[in-house]
Amino acid sequence: MNLIETRRHPLKFYATLAFGFLFLFALGSFMIFIGIEKESNVQSESKKYIMAIFGVLVCLLAFWMVYSYWKNSPKITVDKYNLKIGNETFRLNSIKDVILTGKMPFRFIINFPMEGTAILFNDGRDIILFDDMYSNSYEVKSFLEQVIINKQEFKINTSKKINSNEPRFENSEIFKGNQFTSLRGISLWGLIGFFTILFLVKETNLKLGAIIFFSVFGTFWVVLHSWFMHYFELTKKFLIVRNHIFVWKMKIYDISDIKEIVFETQGKQPNCMRVITNDFKNKLYPAGTLKDKTWLEMKKKLESKGIQVRNECIYE
């Protein structure tokens, strides 16, 4: 009987893969069409089909993306004696060491870092499992920690449930920036203000289609930027995550339930805080209003409370 069986993440794996493949394949097909039609009529023979060739390469990249994602996220099953990764089965006693958290190289066109787990076997082989590819990767991590590292029987860990009223009467230190002067705040409120003033000044009569478009786009714009605008409170017992835009939203972590905190950034995102709890569940909170000085002050406070902080993006 399997103790654990992984499930690929519906958004971070399937949705990302579907969007990436369709975008690249559509772009490549468009380049092929334009290249064949235009190059054959206008360009010299030596330059003929150059765009079409690049289009073929982009289409191949779309298929390579599917292959890379699938290869980097094999199905994992665990029972009392074996760890099955894809089509290979390993005895648990063949595992030499495990690195449970940290950035691992995700191989696509180039290697880029992604939070994951590295498993080293006695024969010198190593296999990397990436957190975001699975919706229940934390179960595999908990199993490896308990059974392989601590030599214990596997038990399912559950995080403490915290009443939202618990931190109410505790003194808190707030780590936040000014949303109206930050890049994300200017991008959000600047665009909204521009269109508002434009419509008011010109007294534009919008058609129903335009109203629907601006309503949908405006909602998307607000939701997107709210995701980038978290801030944090720290009390004696709790870490509290809040949001500049959705002020009613609040996530509370008991400090004793936090295994590790990571300061990181991904692509064009602002600096983010990743909270990893003792059961290896993790959540990413982009915080675009915080200055580097504020991040470093928060790091000192977190470490003073015994929390391990991994700083991957801010120069100290």
Give the pLDDT confidence of 80-89 residue by residue, as tens digits.
889 999 889 9
pLDDT top residue among 146 and 224: 146
The number of domains in the chain is 2
Does one domain contain both 189 and 114?
Answer: no
Place 275 in a pLDDT band, splitting at 50, 70 and 90. Answer: very high
Does one domain contain both 287 and 163?
Answer: yes
Q: What is the DSSP track for 232-284? A: EEE-SSEEEEEESSSTT-EEEEEGGGEEEEEEE--TT---EEEEEETT--EEE
Q: Of 275, 272, 254, which Cα lies nearest the Cα of 263?
A: 272
Place 40 in a pLDDT band, splitting at 50, 70 and 90. Answer: very low
Please say which residue of 98, 121, 156 terminates a domain. 156
pLDDT of residue 253 exceeding 90: yes
Residues with Cβ within 8 Å of residue 272, at least 6 apart in sequence: 263, 264, 265, 266, 284, 285, 286, 287
Rounded to whole angstroms, how far apart are CA atoms 61 and 23? 11
Does one domain contain both 152 and 167?
Answer: no
Does one domain contain both 164 and 256?
Answer: yes
Quick: pLDDT tens for 15-36.
Answer: 999 999 999 999 999 888 877 7
Q: Domain of residue 56: give its range.
A: 1-156
Does one domain contain both 217 and 244?
Answer: yes
CATH of the domain at 220: 2.30.29.30
pLDDT top residue among 64 and 40: 64
Quick: pLDDT tens for 145-176.
Answer: 999 999 888 887 777 778 778 887 788 899 99
Place 219 in a pLDDT band, splitting at 50, 70 and 90. Answer: confident
Across all residues in the chain, what is the average pLDDT?
Answer: 86
pLDDT of residue 268 exceeding 80: no
Please say which residue of 156, 189, 204 terminates a domain. 156
pLDDT at 1: 54
Instruction: State the residue for tokens 């990893």.
Output: 276
Does one domain contain both 107 and 207?
Answer: no
Does one domain contain both 213 and 137?
Answer: no
Tokens of 13: 């794996």
Mean predicted confidence (pLDDT) in 56-62: 93
Q: Pick the range with the lowest mean pLDDT from 47-51, 94-98, 112-116.
A: 47-51
pLDDT of residue 208 exceeding 70: no
Q: Of 222, 223, 243, which Cα lies nearest the Cα of 288?
A: 243
Residue 288 amino acid letter: G
Mean predicted confidence (pLDDT) in 196-202: 68
pLDDT at 7: 93
pLDDT of residue 180 exceeding 90: no
Mean predicted confidence (pLDDT) in 221-235: 90
pLDDT of residue 236 exceeding 80: yes
Does one domain contain both 248 and 306?
Answer: yes
Rounded to whole angstroms, how far apart are CA atoms 234 and 174? 7
Does one domain contain both 210 and 177?
Answer: yes
Collapse the DSSP code of 27 into the 3-class scheme (helix H, G, I; strand E, B; otherwise coil) and give the result: helix
pLDDT top residue among 268 and 70: 70
Share of the chain above pLDDT 70, in %: 91
Are 295 and 314 contacting, i.e. CB atoms less than 8 angstroms apart? yes
Q: pTM for the whole thing?
A: 0.84
Mean predicted confidence (pLDDT) in 179-195: 82
Does one domain contain both 152 and 223?
Answer: no
Please say which residue of 106, 122, 156 terminates a domain. 156
Does one domain contain both 131 and 273?
Answer: no
Does one domain contain both 111 and 63?
Answer: yes
Q: Pick the range with the lowest mean pLDDT from 4-18, 98-112, 185-199.
A: 185-199
pLDDT at 50: 79
